[in-house]
Amino acid sequence: MMLEHIISMRDFSRDEIDIILEKAIVLEPVARGGKSTLLSGKILATLFFEPSTRTRLSFDTAMKRLGGEVIDFGALEASSVVKGESLADTIRVIGGYADAIVLRHPREGAARMAAEYSNVPIINAGDGAGHHPTQTLLDLYTIMRESSLSGLRIALVGDLKYGRTVHSLAYALSLYHADMTLVSPQQLKMPDVIKKDLEKQGANVRETTRLDDVIGDIDVLYVTRIQRERFPDPAEYLKVSGSYRVTEELLKKANENLKIMHPLPRVDEIDHAVDRTGFARYFEQSFYGVPVRMAVLAMAMGVE
């Protein structure tokens, strides 16, 4: 399978996702420090119009582990040289230098537009509040490696209103007919448009405001941050965020095979004490970004 562009999870069928995940399994030993020359002679351009150091480093690592080279703007140019030039022009120019482009941009839909102008594959590394498909792919990979994608019972917790990570993940999980429980405070419930969309895919979705209600009945707990900015009243924020904190106490009621995920960085939504338990999988999850991005890069550049 040759991937043309990687813009949104909505462009993928379940079969296509499975092919990427299987490719990532093959490449995981390389991500762990093995040697590969799979992408030697290839050049990846990382165009970050807003900072996201972790995502950029993850792509850099993936490319370099596969023997390829990475070019970018450098810190200064991103703010000065590129300013004033249209994204469409930048893409056409950089497309002449690189074999694929990783793009992060503050505007929603930027990657889709870039793909229209690019003669090399565009990999969307986040466009505004829009898509970030490699995050979703690495989430799925983590579930596959640490739990199971079939018959999955998962709770998505936290800011389900603004969090694009969970929207995209929920959509992808609907392709796997996962049993999903949405756990959030009233003010941060998943928007109806997204829920309707999940139901259209045949997803089984429940909602609750209490983490306690589901903790004993799930295989994966996917935690996201509740941002302070969403609450005009600081006292209200403390009260709400406190009631979704994952602690050892809460986990006493958990299924023993429960796995906890988090897209990171976290603030205090998961107690540090939980890190030492067998439930914690968020650092593995972060690592899995490397083999998944390797798979995406190799497939985007047409290397089997």
Partner 1 sequence: MREKEMRIRRIEHGTVIDHITGGQALNVLHILGISGSTKAVVSVAMNVQSGVLKTKDIVKVEDRELKQEEVDRISLIAPEATINIIRDFKVIEKHTVDLPEIIEGVVKCANPNCISNTDEPVISKFTVYKNPLELRCIYCDHVISEGIAGQLI
Residue numbers at the binding site for partner 1 (CB under 8 A): 8, 10, 86-88, 105-110, 112-113, 116, 127-131, 193
Nearest-approach distance from CB 155 to partner 1, in angstroms: 24
Catalytic residue among 65, 105, 132, 195: 132
Cβ proximity to partner 1: between 107 and 245 the closer is 107
Residues 126 and 49: their CA atoms lie apart, in Å, by 10
Nearest-approach distance from CB 247 to partner 1, in angstroms: 36
Cβ proximity to partner 1: between 5 and 23 the closer is 5
Cβ proximity to partner 1: between 107 and 230 the closer is 107
Catalytic residue among 5, 23, 55, 145: 55
Cβ proximity to partner 1: between 116 and 212 the closer is 116
104 in catalytic set: yes
247 in catalytic set: no
For residue 250 the two structure tokens come to 């809460």
Give the residue from 33, 229, 24 showing the smallest Cα distance to 143: 24
Backbone angles phi, psi at 159, to 5 degrees: -85, 95
165 in catalytic set: no
What are the residues whose beta carbons fall under 8 Å from the beta carbon of 298, sequence distance 6 or more? 23, 27, 38, 39, 66, 304
| Edge-to-edge strand ranges of the sheet holding 204-208 | 204-208, 179-183, 153-157, 220-223, 259-261
37 in catalytic set: no
55 in catalytic set: yes
Catalytic residue among 10, 54, 210, 239: 54
What are the residues whose beta carbons fall under 8 Å from the beta carbon of 275, sequence distance 6 or more? 283
CB–CB of 153/178 below 8 Å? yes
Nearest-approach distance from CB 273 to partner 1, in angstroms: 39
Nearest-approach distance from CB 106 to partner 1, in angstroms: 8
Q: How many CA atoms lie within 13 A of 128 on its CB side?
A: 8
231: which strand partners?
none
Catalytic residue among 104, 131, 259, 262: 104
Which residue numbers are catalytic? 54-55, 83, 104, 132
